[in-house]
Structure 1
Amino acid sequence: MNWTTNLSSENAHEGSANGDVELFAGKEVNATVREVIQNSIDVPNDSKTPVIVEVDMYEESIDKLPRISQVKEIVDNIANTEFWKNDQEVSKRVDLAKQTLDKDTVKIVRFSDFNTTGAKGAKQGHQARTPFTALTRANYVSDKASSSASGSRGIGKNSVKGISDLRMVLFTSQTKEDGKYSSGQIDLATFAKGDKISNRINYLVGDDNEAIAGEVIDDKFTRNENGTDLRIVGVNEDYGQELCEFGLVYLLENFLTSIYEGRLVVKFLGTTIDKNNLYQTILDLPEDTNDSKKYIQSYYRALEFGKKYQLPEAFLTNYGINPADGTFYLETETLFGSKVLFTRESGMKIYDKNFNAAGNYAGVFRATGMLNKVLRNMEDATHTKWQDSLFDNRGNMINYHELNTKFRQDNRYASSLLESLRKFIKDILNQAFDVDGNDEIEADEIANLFYLEETNHEENKQGVVESSNHKISKIKIVKQKQKVPAGSRKIEVTVDDNGEITPTRTRKPQNKPSTSKDKPQKPRTTKNDTTYSMKPVDVTNEWALSNDDGSMDYIFEAPKNMAKFGIEFNPVGEGEIKVNPIKKALYNGKEMKVLEDNVFYTLDNIKKGKNISIHLELVDSQPVGLNAILRELRKG
């Protein structure tokens, strides 16, 4: 056996910035757990027996790697290629590879699956389009016959290279049809020899340039039944540590439903997780800053105790989807969470989404049958969202002529279906909390309206909604009908040499022509005073946090660079609010100056993209709804 180089004068140089690997940058370990186990649950041997995946990590002698001398030669050839002398990415990859090869042992992470069919087709050769070729020697190719399969675009398998300093992966698969065969990849960069250039990916093959019969490494594990082994060789120390600390969290984030339904059993670094010990495993998870454990626990409760809803009958005539193909599990007796987990038939998480509701809840949406096929067809390469633009109905999966609406474009069908699914979830949430859906707005459409309910502090500690990576405690979002649109009031001020601001003019839009009596008198100014207009500025990202002491924090992401800014807070709510609820506002620990009862300002510079926090001390026991308006002080 040997590692291919395929030197040719017709090849072009390719560097180490592999887009298929970089696609998962920043979440390499999570993506590795997700993508490898996904490949295993996509090929179950039968529907009655759970797929078993074993994850192990260990050190092995560097000399046991197949053709280790040739591996070192490939790395040296890349390092000595003049073309890469000033390429930082290739230099970084070569340095990491050399550091790994200079050690006596190498860290390996092995994923092995059981009760699967294995990757078929090794005997047919790498020119045939088979599952074995798709796994070991093809890019952008997926060969999965099952419509319930999680993967479909052939990119995810490359995620595993991201945790290897060698970018090396070894494959072994045993099937009923072919027996046991192995192969491997090194994916670093091309190198030059004379006027010839190698391929970027070096494949481990036999003398016939095909897969190798049997095993290719002796590491105390030998496959004796059908299934697939994937060994990631040269695992980075930091990634190995992350796998130890958070691997179980990543596993349950992505495959909670698969394990709960008995489709999957995982033996993770010596610990077995199945449907019988699933809840205890969740309770034993480490706490983390992203509240992953709490969300996993809330989704489990939705599956175990939640009320079950199915799609309306109209989905059959409108989209060709049987109502039983979509099931929504909703648990409202929960102290944490306001998200819905979306999964398909395999049970793997696609994404979760926050829906605004009048109380805490946890939900799980499951797509099966035809809905599963349709949604799989519109998944992106990372299998983390559904996009209407990706839907391809050329195979006539859905017969548009049989539907109430004769869709002429695939993306219009997909867009309408996704919107109806969203509305279905919203309608169920509104029913559960007895809310009129016409008065609701989505959490990601909040704009600058937030409402703080009066509540006792113990409840306040537990009632949490997550939005935009911030925790918002006991925030109730409401729509308010305002006589004056937010930001329409015009404010002019003068600023003297000491930074003191004085109102110059304040007026509201009138329904009738104004007279001289309506206009506030303009204060006398000096020649050193500067006149500013306080003009409203749109804010797209903002949050409100309530605190145990009754105060609250208003946080916004600065939409632009500003040298002087103010915040206007207008009380809103049912009836007329006569009491100004804000005692003081503080920015960076310093009390902001008061222009009017509800307008506060500072002359500090703020930079675009920076999170600005305004701390508000409120009148005791004053339930308050506040409309926040950011204003910039501009000359003239």
Structure 2
Amino acid sequence: MQPFWNFPATAGGTINSINNAGIETFRGNELDSLTREICQNSLDAVKDEEQPVIVEFKQFQISRNQFPQRDELVNAFNKCESTWKSKNTKIEQFVEQAKYILKNDQIPFLRISDFNTKGLEGARTGELGTPWSSLVREAGSSNKGDSSGGSFGIGKSAPFANSKLRTLFYSSYDITDYQSHIGVANIMSFEERPGFNTLGTGYFTDSHNSTAISNLLNLDPSFQRDETGTDIYVTAFEPKENWVEAIRNSVIYNFFITIWQDKLVVKIEDETISHENIGTLISKLDDDKEEYCQVKAYFKLLTSEEGIQVPYPAKRYKKIGEFKEGEATLYIMKGEDLNRRVLMTRKAGMRLFEQNRISGSISFTGILIIHGTHMNQVFKKMENPAHTEWEPNRYEEAPSEAKKAFSDLRKFIRETVQQQFQAETTETMDAFGVSDFLPDTTQVAGEGDEKKESLTMKIKSIAHKKKEKPKKKVKKKQQKENFEDTLEEVGITPEGDQAGHSNDDRNEGEGLGGGTGNQQGEQGPADEGTGGAKEGKGEKEKNKPIDVDTRYICLEKDSGLYRLNIKPEKKFEKGKLEFKVSGEQSDYILPVITVTSNDIEITSIDKNVVRFVNLTGKKPKNIQVQVDYEQYCVLEVDLYEI
């Protein structure tokens, strides 16, 4: 039978409009999504694991007369136009553009070919569940193995998002030596004749059952396939950006581990990205982009002799089963100005996400690769459709155990980093310069004891002198631009113990600073920015200092954004926080721009003072604060009950 475009009918079923959920998933990030999904799918179909998979991207054009049964596809778009006229503006615009493209003399295509892969097995029979059926005919289906990258069947929509006709052609040479091709137009339902609507998906086929056509499709005149693999032809490929650069950067960013391991080679037009040149290409990435700096740090770890490899220990769970020792490996390295994150990947080697909140006091970087079969299976089931997060609730058989498994993995990362790199602390330290003020007790050989210096003291009596408690001073509130000038004018010298201390060991995953303010004394100082009582209230604030453990981490240095955790020692209804920068000679106020928190209700912000209503009693309070300071600083935070 002569090949034709077959649009199957729906008998009283769903009418599909233009908003295809799978395609819309990749809107706005089409080229990066195309690169990630294509390379991942090819890696999942590897034939010889001892050799790298090769993926090739090549653009070309064909005349409109060479487009397979172009007139039939144009006719389908005409029927879409008449069916949806004045009913859906978005469909009208899409159809108008599609018809315009199909009338042009030349139509642009992108050919994506892979090699050392198995091809689309199942094309001969069209059997349900085969790779061919899952890719071409089934919706939301994937038959990939446990160590594969994808599992939702959504990634196959990424090429459609890069076609202005939403039309692809698949050509395959599979490991059974069967050669086949088929076209898929993923458009919208239309009325074929009165009362007869189509599903909206059409197939370029030679059978009303939409089976594959027997033989390869050679649309690119410069290409001829002579080995197993798959070719995907993306029609009307007209990207808005430099597609070669975009795909190159996406390959490097997402697959540098796989390429470095010599499991993947990518060719983009005349460029080749391989094990031999991946290091050079990474070194040329723009340092002004944060994501590329991270890639450089991770690649340095992979290639440095200073890196440490730590196997994941054996774990057993009641429902999940057993992870054998070494099913995952953590690569870590310590150094200056590293990102304090661990890149998480599975066997396919594609970037998934970065695990942070590990240690803010240790400068390190790391990569965790899950390569064990069973561990891959478990964490694959936790993966979201975008492959950017592990979500334990997706593991339907045992979500609570999946959560525990993920928690154990994060704990392993934190503890390994701390055990390997945590600086040893000692109870003594050298005080530089103190020797200038101490007597020289060194004795030269041959000299007598008379050269020794000594100090003899005799205590005659001990008397206890009662120290009078200083009287509270009440001063009129003064509004001054500079707080230090105010102190000078009224003759007040700050007193009391307000020294900070580090709490690095109290948080498992953050770099911590801060301290415990107001450890001594019963009366806290007046607000440095506003005075002791809230202006206009007529009621003086208590200003009772509260002992508090304070921890913080800098989120964005340039914008002065910090995350703060405070744990008060008592319950209180209303309070205020005073922010200061700890300096060598003295502290000075730190103006606050914004404060957000789910644990406290902010009532006012005045210079460095934040007043609030306590919502959680003695429980720790997580606060995000933006301060007017563009450099790293040592925060001093005092808490008062008011």
Q: TM-score with structure 2 length normalisation?
A: 0.71
Pairing 1:301–2:300 present: yes
What secondary structure does 1:170 align onto? Answer: strand
Which structure: larger Rg? 2
- Change beyond 3 A, Cα 1:73–1:597: closer
How far apart in 2 are the matches of 1:270 and 1:337?
Answer: 34
Indicate whether 1:30 and 2:37 are aligned: no
Tell me if structure 2 keeps the 8 A contact 1:119–1:131: yes
Provide the C-alpha distance between the structure 2 equivalents of 1:190 and 1:117, rounded to a whole number of angstroms: 34
Shift in CA distance, 508/46, structure 1 to aligned 2, threshold 3 Å? farther
Q: Work out the CA distance in 2 between the residues paired with 1:362 and 1:627.
A: 30
Q: What is the Cα deviation at residue 223 of structure 1? A: 1.5
Q: Helix, strand or coil for the counterpart of 1:230? A: strand
Is 1:384 aligned to 2:372, yes or no?
Answer: no
How much does 1:183 deviate? 0.9
Please give the alpha-carbon distance, in whole angstroms, between the structure 1 residues aligned to 2:53 and 2:581. 55
1:366 match:
369
Q: Kindly indicate whether the alpha-carbon contact (under 8 Å) linking 1:51 and 1:264 is maintained by their aligned counterparts in 2.
A: yes
* 1:156-555 alignment, distance < 5 Å: 156-192=155-191, 193-207=193-207, 209-220=210-221, 221-238=223-240, 241-286=241-286, 289=289, 291-305=290-304, 306-314=307-315, 320-357=322-359, 358-369=361-372, 370-393=374-397, 410-434=398-422, 438-440=505-507, 442=509, 476-478=511-513, 480-481=515-516, 504-505=538-539, 507-508=541-542, 510=544, 545-546=556-557, 553-554=560-561
Whole-Å separation in 2 of the counterparts to 1:580 and 1:511: 18
Which residue does the alignment assign to 1:132? 132
Tell me what 1:455 maps to.
none
Partner of 1:571: 580
Q: Residue 65 of structure 1 contacts residue 217 of structure 1 at CA under 8 Å; is this kept in 2? A: no
Equivalent-residue separation in structure 2 for 1:85 and 1:613 (angstroms):
50
Letter in 2 for 1:268: I
Cross-structure match for 2:461: none
For structure 1, the residue ranges without an aligned partner over 5 or more in a row are 394-409, 444-475, 513-540, 557-566, 588-593, 602-610, 630-636
For 1:281-335, what per-residue CA distance to the aligned partner results, in whole angstroms no more than 9, with x for missing partners? Answer: 112334564x222111111122222211112345689951112101000122253
Asked if 1:581 is matched to 2:557, the reply is: no
Amino acid at match of 1:118: G
CA distance in structure 2 between the aligned counterparts of 1:595 and 1:174, rounded to whole angstroms: 68
Q: Is the 8 Å Cα contact of residues 585 and 616 (structure 1) preserved in structure 2?
A: no
Indicate whether 1:598 and 2:605 are aligned: no
Shift of 1:167: 0.5
Shift of 1:501: 5.6
Distance 1:171 1:432 in 2: 50
User: Is the 8 Å Cα contact of residues 101 and 236 (structure 2) preserved in structure 1?
Assistant: yes
Alpha-carbon spacing, 1:426–1:584, altered in 2? closer, same or farther (3 Å) = closer
So what's the TM-score if we normalise by structure 1? 0.71
Task: Report if aligned partners of 1:580, 1:598 keep a CA contact under 8 Å in 2.
Answer: no
- Residue aligning to 2:570: none
1:53 aligned counterpart, secondary structure: strand
Letter in 1 for 2:202: N
Residue 164 of structure 2 aligns to a residue in which SS? strand
Measure, in 2, the Cα distance between the counterparts of 1:477 and 1:135. 49
Cα contact 1:441–1:477 (8 A) shared by 2: no
Q: Structure 2 vs 1, CA of residues 287 and 169 (structure 1 numbering), >3 Å: closer, same or farther? A: farther
Q: CA deviation at 1:481?
A: 4.1
Unaligned runs of 5+ in 2: 424-502, 547-551, 564-575, 595-603, 612-623
Cα distance in 1, alignment partners of residues 562 and 382 from structure 2:
36
Aligned ranges 1:22-61 → 2 under 5 Å: 22-61=24-63
CA distance in 1, matches of 2:638, 2:47: 58
Task: Output one character per residue of 1:464-505: Cα deviation in whole Å (capped at 9) or x when no partner.
Answer: xxxxxxxxxxxx533644569xxxx9999xx9xxxx966754
The CA distance in 2 between the partners of 1:505 and 1:7, in whole Å, is 77
Q: Let me know the Cα RMSD of the aligned residues.
A: 3.9
Percent pairwise identity: 23
Shift, 1:626, TM fit? 4.5
Specify the code of the residue in structure 2 equivalent to 1:77. Answer: K
Give distance in 2, aligned partners of 1:628 and 1:66.
74
Shift of 1:418: 0.2
Paired position in structure 2 for 1:525: none
Quick one: structure 1 residues 372 and 503, their matched pair in 2 at CA, closer, same or farther if it must change by over 3 Å?
Answer: same
Give the number of aligned pairs.
509
CA distance in 1 between partners of 2:288 and 2:97 (Å): 30
CA contact (8 A) 1:3 1:67 kept: yes
The Cα of 1:202 is off from its aligned counterpart by: 0.7
Indicate the structure with greater strand content: 1
